[in-house]
């Protein structure tokens, strides 16, 4: 991992500040929620105390509002939030509203009832496999025109039984009628305008939606379905029930109409108050506990993101409290107060937005500052790396180093490197001149030794002494060869430094040198291969010949008599390549990376010629001078060695390629 990335990750660690801010805001939210809950509990207890023993306020008829065991046909009316539109459809009715169902054979009657202000609303769903409407041309009491009818039976406020019926000649609005007995026992159908509704045919039966003023109703209410498969049957009321009739008649349990108005005086924005019976039946609801529609309309662009991060899935956004409503001997109901969380959510969001804005700005600044510092540090380290990589040049060591004037740790490091390179340069210069100095200093003593041996050989010597003199002569010759080799290496280095560059055909120079090698080494065969076109180089042809001399001399030393040494010149895109191959032993593993070093050689055999590991070192020096490289590799199967020297072509090489 790079230092820049490490510093960037370190800068990102400052994001722990927003995380800590979120944890703080969540703790504050818990405290606000607990405080809101305690306050709401106190409000619930206060309102419940005001309803204590107010049976008349909770129930429409206190005598019928108890939680006694319900009868089979008792009908409970539930509070409605809005008046249903009387069209015969159930769209406005709550889907979760309980219903009373009565079945007989294949038919069924389902009743849903609700109370809104001073009205009772009823939704009657009748399953009837054959719907028959009244004959539109006949009167309401003419038996020949009778169709399906629905009777409503109820007690009025004085306890008297009342009956009305609903009949229609087709879908649409329907009106209730009552049968009155006039003079001479004549019965007539009279409209009851206070009861209105709508009749609609549905799949498998029909549906009737009704509205009845609560002022008409006492404590009992029921429905009778007068089903007939053909017109003309006699109409019946509740007094002519059959065992297979769909009929209900039981208590009407409904909340008091004044309870809702009483609760409205305690309602505040975002608060809902519910009152239910001890068994859980809803009596009244007022207010709205839903979150306000403008919740989340924060002008800050980041506020929705903050809220998404902070809110937990499934978190309740409503605070609620309950309290019992005491009666004379037992609770008569339960009060429930619910408040939307917009108040403490607003406080939380405001604190969160301010806190996270500050911490994010600080974190962003810290990350950017760390990234800028990392980029600057990486750039300075890159300068040091490039300077260290390019310190070794063809001319020697470049002791100039960047950042030496910096007053920090990198400056100290740069100054240490510069001092080290300076000392290495001095040592390298000393080593470069050592061979010449040694050759100069040894030449005089060697001359004295050789002249002394010449004088000694002119004297009369015993056979043993003459043998010792012969060995001394061989040693002096070998020492003289060493001086010659060291002087040659020094001269090559000096020649490289003073060489003048010119353009020449490296193929022609190599061809001429190979012709000379055939004469100089008659015990070896030479093959030469070069392109037909000229391969122009920019450099010193004399140095190229010296390089070939060293390569061929090395090939002759390691090849057997009558072996063929192959010399090639070829060109690659942007490069001229010189190859020398000789059969013989492969390169040892220890030669890797050291073959072209000074004073290193891998010869293990002994012969009369001294070897000092300077030949291939000279090859490398000449290749470096021309901007190229020298490599050595074993031939396939270990049958010999191939030396390859790659030299860069001039930029205008295409213009210098002439057909020979």
Instruction: End-to-end CA distance of the chain: give it in Å, rounded.
Output: 56
Where are the alpha helices (H) located in 213-302, listed in sequence order?
Answer: 257-264
User: What pLDDT does 476 receive?
Assistant: 81
Question: What's the residue count for the chain?
Answer: 660
655 pLDDT exceeds 80? no
Distance CA 504, CA 555 (A): 25
User: What average pLDDT score do residues 155-168 get?
Assistant: 89
User: What pLDDT does 296 receive?
Assistant: 46
CATH class name, domain 390-496: mainly alpha
User: What average pLDDT score do residues 329-338 get?
Assistant: 88
User: What average pLDDT score do residues 94-113 get?
Assistant: 84
295 pLDDT exceeds 60? no
Q: Which helix (H) or strand (E) holds 462?
A: none
Q: Where in the chain are all domains bearing CATH 3.30.565.10?
A: 499-656
Q: Where in the chain are all domains bearing CATH 2.60.40.1190?
A: 62-254
DSSP-derived 3-state class of residue 614: coil
User: What average pLDDT score do residues 144-169 get?
Assistant: 87
CATH class name, domain 499-656: alpha beta
As separate numbers, helices (DSSP H) first and strands (DSSP E) second, the chain gives 12, 25
Decide which of 630 and 311 is more confident: 630
Q: Is the dihedral of CA 580, 581, 582, 584 positive or negative?
A: positive
352 pLDDT exceeds 80? no
Judged by average pLDDT, the poorest of 12-21, 279-288, 400-409, 564-573 is: 12-21
User: What average pLDDT score do residues 330-343 get?
Assistant: 82
Per-residue tokens: 140: 């309401």
64 pLDDT exceeds 60? no
Mean pLDDT of the chain: 80
Distance CA 173, CA 89 (A): 12
Per-residue tokens: 580: 């020398």
Where are the alpha helices (H) located in 500-540, listed in sequence order?
Answer: 506-520
User: What pLDDT does 445 receive?
Assistant: 83
113 with 93: CB under 8 angstroms?
A: no
270 pLDDT exceeds 70? yes
Q: Which fold has domain 62-254?
A: Immunoglobulin-like (2.60.40)
The predicted-structure confidence for 192-249, as pLDDT tens digits, reads as follows 999 999 999 999 899 999 999 988 988 889 898 888 776 655 656 666 666 666 778 8
Decide which of 26 and 169 is more confident: 169
Q: Where in the chain are all domains bearing CATH 1.10.287?
A: 390-496
User: What pLDDT does 646 receive?
Assistant: 94
Confidence of residue 659 (pLDDT cuts 50, 70, 90): very low
318 pLDDT exceeds 90? no
Range ranked top by mean pLDDT from 34-48, 104-118, 309-323, 453-467: 34-48
604 pLDDT exceeds 60? no
pTM for the whole structure? 0.44
Distance CA 318, CA 291 (A): 8
Distance CA 360, CA 302 (A): 11
User: What pLDDT does 651 receive?
Assistant: 75
User: What pLDDT does 46 receive?
Assistant: 92
User: What average pLDDT score do residues 385-400 get?
Assistant: 75
Q: For residue 559, give every residue at least 6 positions away whose Cβ sits within 8 Å of its Cβ, in sequence order, or none.
A: 524, 565, 582, 583, 584, 640
User: What average pLDDT score do residues 314-342 get?
Assistant: 81
User: What pLDDT does 392 receive?
Assistant: 72
């Amino acid at each position: 991992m790079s230092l820049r990335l490490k510093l960037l990750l370190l800068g990102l660690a400052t994001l722990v500040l927003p995380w800590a801010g979120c944890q703080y805001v969540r703790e504050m939210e818990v405290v606000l929620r607990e405080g809101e809950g305690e306050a709401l509990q106190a409000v619930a207890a206060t309102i419940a105390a005001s309803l204590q023993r107010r049976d008349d306020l909770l129930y429409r008829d206190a005598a019928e509002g108890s939680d006694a065991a319900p009868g089979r046909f008792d009908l409970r009316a539930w509070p409605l939030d809005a008046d249903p539109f009387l069209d015969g459809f159930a769209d406005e009715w709550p889907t979760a509203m309980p219903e009373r169902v009565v079945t007989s054979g294949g038919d069924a009657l389902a009743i849903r009832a609700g109370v809104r202000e001073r009205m009772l609303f009823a939704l009657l769903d009748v399953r009837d496999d054959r719907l028959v409407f009244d004959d539109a041309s006949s009167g309401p009491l003419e038996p020949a025109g009778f169709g399906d009818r629905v009777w409503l039976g109820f007690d009025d406020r004085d306890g008297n039984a009342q009956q009305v019926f609903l009949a229609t000649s087709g879908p649409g609005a329907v009106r209730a009628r009552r049968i009155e007995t006039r003079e001479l026992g004549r019965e007539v159908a009279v409209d009851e305008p206070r009861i209105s509704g709508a009749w609609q045919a549905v799949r498998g039966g029909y549906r009737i939606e009704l509205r009845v003023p609560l002022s008409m109703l006492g404590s009992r209410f029921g429905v009778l379905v007068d089903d007939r498969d053909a017109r003309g049957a006699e109409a019946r009321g509740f007094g002519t029930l059959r065992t297979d009739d769909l009929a209900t008649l039981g208590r009407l349990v409904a909340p008091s109409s004044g309870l809702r108005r009483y609760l409205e005086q305690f309602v505040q924005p975002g608060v809902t108050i519910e009152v239910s019976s001890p068994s859980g039946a809803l009596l009244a609801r007022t207010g709205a506990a839903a979150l306000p529609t403008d919740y989340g309309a924060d002008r800050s662009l980041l506020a929705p993101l903050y809220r998404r991060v902070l809110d937990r899935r499934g978190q309740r956004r409503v605070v609620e409290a309950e309290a019992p409503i005491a009666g004379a001997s037992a609770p008569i109901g339960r009060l429930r107060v619910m408040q939307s969380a917009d108040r403490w959510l607003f406080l939380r969001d405001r604190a969160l937005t301010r806190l996270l804005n500050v911490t994010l700005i600080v974190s962003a600044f810290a990350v950017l500052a760390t990234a800028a510092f990392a980029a600057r540090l990486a750039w300075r380290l890159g300068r040091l790396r490039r300077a260290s990589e390019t310190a070794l040049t063809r001319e020697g060591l470049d002791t100039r180093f960047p950042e030496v004037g910096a007053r920090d740790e990198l400056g100290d490091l740069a100054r240490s490197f510069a001092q080290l390179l300076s000392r290495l340069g001095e040592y390298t210069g000393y080593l470069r001149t050592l061979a010449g100095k040694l050759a100069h200093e040894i030449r005089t003593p060697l001359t004295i030794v050789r002249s002394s041996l010449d004088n000694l050989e002119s004297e009369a010597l015993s056979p043993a002494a003459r043998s010792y003199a012969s060995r001394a002569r061989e040693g002096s010759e070998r020492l003289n060869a060493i001086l010659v080799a060291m002087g040659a290496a020094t001269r090559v280095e000096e020649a490289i430094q003073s060489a003048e560059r010119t353009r020449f055909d490296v193929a022609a120079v190599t061809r001429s040198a190979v012709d000379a090698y055939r004469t100089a080494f008659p015990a070896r065969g030479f093959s030469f291969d070069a392109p037909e076109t000229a391969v122009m180089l920019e450099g010193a042809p004399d140095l190229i010949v010296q390089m070939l001399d060293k390569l061929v001399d090395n090939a002759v030393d390691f090849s057997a008599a009558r072996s063929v040494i192959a010399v090639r010149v070829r060109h690659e895109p942007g490069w001229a390549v010189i190859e020398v191959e000789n059969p013989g032993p492969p390169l040892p593993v220890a030669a890797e990376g050291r073959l072209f070093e000074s004073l290193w050689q891998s010869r293990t055999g002994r012969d009369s010629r001294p070897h000092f590991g300077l030949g291939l070192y000279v090859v490398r020096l000449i290749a470096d001078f021309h901007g190229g490289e020298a490599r050595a590799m074993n031939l396939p199967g270990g049958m010999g060695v191939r030396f390859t020297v790659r030299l860069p072509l001039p930029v205008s090489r295409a213009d210098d390629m002439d057909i020979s």
